[in-house]
Amino acid sequence: MNQQHTQRTESTVPNTPGAVERSKTGTEGFFKNIMTGTGKVVSSGVSGVGKVVSSSVSGVGKVVSTTASGVGKVVSTTVSTGASGINYMFSGVTKVVKTVLPNGAGSINITFDKDVYRPGEMINGAVRLSILRNINAKCLNVKIEGIEFASKLRTEYDDNGGFDPNSHEAPRAWRDERREIFSEIKALQEFSKKSDLPIGTYDYKFQHLLPTNLPGSFHYMSKNITADVKYRVKVWMELKEGSKVAVESLLNVYEIINRPPRPVVETREKSFVFGGRGKLQIKLNLDKDIFFLGEKMAVKLNVDNQTRKDVSHLRIKLMRTINVKVNDDQGTHVEDVCRTSYPGVKAKTTFNDIVYFDIPANLESDPTSSGHLCQNLYHLDVECEVARAFDLRIHPKIIIASSPHNIVQTTSSA
C-alpha cells in the first residue's frame, strides 16, 4: 500500500493537470425523474426572463462542453446566480444554476428545494426555459447520477520488473477506476417537429428519490491520488440541427450513519531505555464515536507516568485518511486536520481528567464517506510527547457526521 502522511498546515493541493483531466472524464449516465406538467407557457414577450431568486451558491453550477460524434457541438455557458427572496418555483431558500442559450435566445435555469440532501430523500427540482426569441428546440432532458472516481499515480515497470537504466527516475502513469452508483435519464419535453419553440417562459418540475445507503459526496486531489464521490443533475436542450445546450449542478449528499454511537476505550503503555523501571501508560475514554461539525468533544484521559522522563505535552489531533482503490491497487493519504495541545505530565505523577477538543464547524474537509472506491475517514491521534524519545500514541477511530439527523438510532428487541 502506498501511503503518504502530511500535516494539513504544511500541505497544499498541487496543480496536477493529469489528475484533473481524469476526474472529469467518463461521467455519462443518470437517474429517475418524475415530470409534473408538460411545459405550460407562463408568460410571453421579450421583457425579462422571470424572477429567479435563491441563496448564493458559488461554484456549484458547472457546464459540460463536449463534442459527440453525429450530434454536433455542445454550446454551453454557466453563470452561478443567487440572491435573497422568494424563488419562482419553491418557497424558502433554494439554489439556482443557469446557462445561457446561444445567440441571446434566452436561458435555462435549474432550481432545487434544498442545498443538502440525505440518502432516501426526495430531490425536488424545477427547470425554467426563458425563451427571448424563437428557437428550433427538439427536446428537453434531465439526468441525475451518482459516481465514484478514483485515480492513482503509480510507477510503471517493464516486463522484467525494471525500467530504463538511462532514465533518472522510474516512469509514472495515472491509473483510473470509475463506479456508477446510480444513473437514470428521462425526457422532460418533446417539442414540435414542425415549428420553433416560441417566445415565452416554460416551467417543468421533476422529482427523484435518492437510494438509501449512499456514500457521502466529497472530493480530494493530491499529487498522487484523486478521490471523487459526486452526485449531479444535468439538464440539456437538444436543437434540431444536432447541437446541445446543457446546464449541470453538483448536489451535496451527506452519508447516513446506520448505527447508534458506541463508546470508545483504548489503552497503551511503553517503557524507555533511560526511563527507569516504570512505564508510561495512557488510557482514553470517549462516551461515543460519532461527532458533529462544531461539536466540543469530551475526552477522558488517564496518564500514569511512572518513568523518570517528563511528558512535555499532551496533544490531540484530528486526522483524515483518504483511501482509493484502483483495479485492486490501494492508495492512501493521511493528513492532520486540526490539533490542540494540553499541559504535560511530570515524571512519577498521574493525570486523570477530562479535556475538551473542538471540531471546527467550518471544517474544510468533508464529513465521513464510506464508498467502494473512495473513502474519507477520520481518527484521533492522542499523544504523550516525550523529549528525545518516541512518543506514546493511541489512534481511536471516529466518525464525523454533518448533523444528528444523519444518524439512524436503532434499538434492540428483547
Cell of 366: 468533508
pLDDT at 166: 59
pTM attached to this predicted model: 0.72
Contact 108, 237 (CB under 8 A): yes
pLDDT at 56: 30
Taking CA atoms, 22 is separated from 17, 151, 182, 302, in Å, by: 9, 7, 20, 48
pLDDT at 363: 83
Nearest Cα neighbor of 275 from 248, 300, 301, 309 is: 309
Beta bridge partners of 239: 137
pLDDT at 62: 33
Nearest Cα neighbor of 101 from 236, 241, 240, 249 is: 236
pLDDT at 131: 93
pLDDT at 369: 95
How would DSSP label each residue in 355-376?
EEEEPPTT-SS---EE-SSEEE
Nearest Cα neighbor of 182 from 236, 237, 251 is: 251
Burial class (CB in 10 A: 0-12, 13-18, 19+), 158: exposed
Q: Which domains can be identified in the chain, with CATH numbers? A: 2-253 (2.60.40.640), 264-406 (2.60.40.640)
Q: Compute the distance between CA of residue 399 and CA of residue 232 in angstroms, rounded to an integer.
A: 25
pLDDT along the chain (414 residues), means of 10: 41 33 34 35 33 31 31 33 38 65 88 91 94 93 96 71 57 89 93 91 95 94 93 94 90 91 96 81 96 94 94 96 92 94 96 96 89 96 92 95 67 42
Helix (H, G, I), strand (E, B) or coil at 22: helix
**Cell 483518504 maps to which residue?**
322
pLDDT at 66: 30
Cell of 378: 477520520
Nearest Cα neighbor of 203 from 83, 101, 87 is: 87
